[in-house]
């Protein structure tokens, strides 16, 4: 009797081991399929946040903004499509992330400021960078480093001298070095806006600006006249 019970359990244990082995083999095959076909696609998948994301966070806007910032800094140089030699197609994935952050957390200065810089310097998404700097100026109108960076974008990338002049003038009036006034004057004069340059000079004179800065501005004005 005992021998028959022993043989019974031994036979079933062998069957259980066979089933377990087959199950393990299936799991290994599935794992290999996932590794080969799914993971590479997942690594290369870049999701852009949906429009109006800030309206669907129910109090978690700041947390979502932080999560998006952590995500984008891992691939700050990502460009999904080139529009020319070393120029990324406008308003790409990095722009979409930074734009969403600016909506979710309008006071997240560093993300918006450095996001704009990275878009223009690293990604070469000129269109996206200009939009982010416009947004940054809207959110931080008294922040002179942001105003100065936006002026650089307008001057070098957008080739919009009047806009650059206005931003430089605003930057100087909010704490930038005083020589920035002279640079603003140069932008006005190169754009053919003599009157704007003269008005800037008169306003600086009225504000009691130092004679050194006034001379620099006057020199710029006279150079353009001649």
What are the pLDDT digits (tens) for 144-194? 999 999 998 998 889 999 999 999 999 999 998 888 888 888 888 887 777
- The answer to whether 148 and 167 have CB atoms below 8 angstroms apart is yes
pLDDT confidence of 28, banded at 50, 70, 90?
Answer: very low
The pLDDT value recorded for residue 207 is 65
Q: Which residues pair with 87 in a beta bridge?
A: 84
Per-residue pLDDT tens digits for 116-155 = 999 988 899 999 999 999 999 999 999 999 999 999 899 8
Going by their DSSP bridges, the two strands 82-84 and 87-88 should be labelled as antiparallel
- The answer to whether 192 and 166 have CB atoms below 8 angstroms apart is no
Mean of the per-residue pLDDT values of the chain:
77
Query: How confident is the model over 210-219, as a mean pLDDT?
Result: 77
DSSP letter (8 states) at residue 48: P
Of 126, 202, 137, 132, the residue nearest 163 (C-alpha) = 137
**Does the CA dihedral 163-166-170-171 come out positive or negative?**
positive
For residues 116 and 125, what is the distance between their CA atoms, to the nearest angstrom? 9
pLDDT at 10 over 70: no
Count Cα atoms within 13 angstroms, Cβ side, for 162: 6
pLDDT at 34 over 60: no
φ/ψ of 52, rounded to 5, equals 75, 25
97-110 burial: b if 16+ Cβ within 10 Å, else e: bbbbbbbbbbebee
**H helix or E strand, kind and range, residue 198:** helix 194-206
The pLDDT value recorded for residue 165 is 92
Of 106, 163, 179, 164, the residue nearest 139 (C-alpha) = 106
Per-residue pLDDT tens digits for 57-74 = 777 888 989 999 999 988
């Amino acid at each position: 009797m005992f021998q028959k019970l022993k043989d019974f359990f031994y036979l079933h244990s062998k069957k259980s081991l066979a089933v377990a082995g087959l199950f393990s083999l299936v799991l290994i095959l599935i794992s290999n399929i996932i590794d080969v076909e799914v993971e590479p696609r997942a690594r290369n998948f870049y999701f852009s946040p949906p429009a109006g994301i800030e309206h669907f966070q129910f109090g978690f806007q700041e947390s979502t903004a932080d999560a998006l910032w952590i995500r984008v800094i891992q691939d700050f140089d990502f460009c999904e499509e080139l529009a020319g030699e070393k120029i990324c197609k406008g308003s790409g994935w990095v722009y979409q992330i930074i734009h969403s952050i600016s909506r979710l957390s309008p006071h997240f200065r560093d993300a918006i400021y450095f996001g704009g810089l990275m878009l223009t310097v690293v990604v070469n998404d000129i269109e996206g960078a200009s939009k982010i700097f416009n947004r940054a100026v809207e959110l931080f109108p008294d922040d002179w480093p942001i105003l100065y960076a936006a002026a650089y974008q307008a001057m070098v990338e957008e080739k919009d001298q009047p806009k650059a002049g206005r931003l430089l003038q605003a930057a100087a009036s909010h704490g930038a070095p005083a020589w920035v006034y002279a640079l603003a004057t140069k932008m006005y004069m190169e754009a053919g806006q003599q009157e704007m340059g003269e008005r800037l000079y008169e306003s600086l004179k009225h504000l009691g600006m130092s004679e050194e800065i006034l001379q620099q501005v006057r020199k710029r004005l006279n150079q353009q006249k001649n």
